[in-house]
Amino acid sequence: MSSISRRTVLAGSAALVSAGAVTAATAAPADAHSAPRPKPTVVLVHGAFADASGWNEVIRLLRRDGYPVLAPANPLRGVDTDSAYLASILRLLPGPIVLVGHSYGGVIITNAATGNPNVKALVYVAAFAPDEGDTVLGLQTKFPGSKLSEQALDLRPYPLPDAGTSVDGYVKQDLFRDIFAGDLPRSTTQIMAATQRPGDVHTLQQPSGPPAWKQIRSWYLVARDDNLIPAAAQRYMAQRAGSRTIEARASHVAMMSQPQLTADLIALAARASANQRP
């Protein structure tokens, strides 16, 4: 497999390292009288401590290039329920889908895409790409370097609909920028910290199901300066999944600090998947 051409990404946008092979697919010859093949729908899934607005610039770039885009809210209530929610959305979308996950959103796309023939590509952006039985906590702590610990979280109990309580975790606001988004302006990260959506802490130890990446081709953007998921953990997951991989000098929110690079990788996955033989 060949490495991604430098023409695939903006010159000077980020230092890239090909950590595996990324194949740039070329357009298949088409009949002169056939209509252009419609582009796949790109579905962008956010993780914990964030919301879909983190994809805003990536959405703008993808829409400019003609891709239909959807960035649904991730409920952040549990691996099984969040995956079932996303799967229900995917079943309503006609045609091919490129499914993209950031952080914990990677767990959800890994599970929600299983068994859906319309999902043609998975793209992980500084994301968890679990195998069956893996947990978020296990993958996050498999290699040293994560600054996200229980001491870094504000834990807040909340009532469950039926009975009892569970616990939400928020990254402490004074630690948020260093852990989550050190390469973004402080004025931006102050707003992100104040508006973060919490994750139920029980998701940290809930096992993942059969992974879709065993049947669906995947791509991975490794964020080298990530203080939440160590880059070594990202490389491990990408290699295990057989993902075509690039690297960038970016914090955990690589899609915000490197939106063009992220959009280019998604478009590459979309083009390569469009040229797969049935």
Q: What is the pTM of this model?
A: 0.87
Beta carbons within 10 angstroms of residue 228's beta carbon: 25
What's the CA gap between 213 and 173, in Å, rounded? 34
Q: How far is CA 144 from CA 147, 148, 150, 176, 230, in A?
A: 9, 11, 15, 19, 7
Summarize pLDDT for 86-135 with one digit per residue, the tens.
Answer: 999 999 999 999 999 999 999 999 999 999 999 999 999 999 999 999 99
d(CA 131, CA 105): 14
Compute the mean pLDDT over every residue in the chain, rounded to the nearest whole number.
89
Sign of CA dihedral 77, 218, 98, 54: positive
pLDDT at residue 44 tops 50: yes
User: Which structure tokens are listed for 60?
Assistant: 């703008």
Lowest average pLDDT, out of 34-48, 53-67, 122-136, goes to 34-48
* Residue whose C-alpha is closest to residue 228's, from 175, 171, 180: 180
CA distance 25 to 6: 14
Structure tokens belonging to residue 192: 């992100």
Q: What's the rounded Cα separation, in Å, for the pair 154 and 196?
A: 12
SS3 70: strand
State the CATH class of domain 16-21+39-274. Answer: alpha beta
CA distances from 113 to 90, 98, 213 (A): 8, 10, 9
Phi, psi of 222 (to 5 degrees): -85, 125
What does the angle CA 213 – CA 59 – CA 17 come to, to the nearest 5 degrees? 55
CB-hemisphere CA count at 13 Å for 136? 25
- From 241, 245, 196, select the one nearest 219 (Cα to Cα): 245
- How far does CA 7 lie from the centroid of its chain? 23
Q: Which of 11, 24, 12, 5 is nearest to 219 (CA)?
A: 24
pLDDT in tens, 176-227: 999 999 999 999 999 999 999 999 999 999 999 999 999 999 999 999 999 9
3-state secondary structure of 124: strand
Residue 275 has pLDDT above 70, yes or no: yes
* Element containing residue 178 per DSSP (H, E): helix 173-180
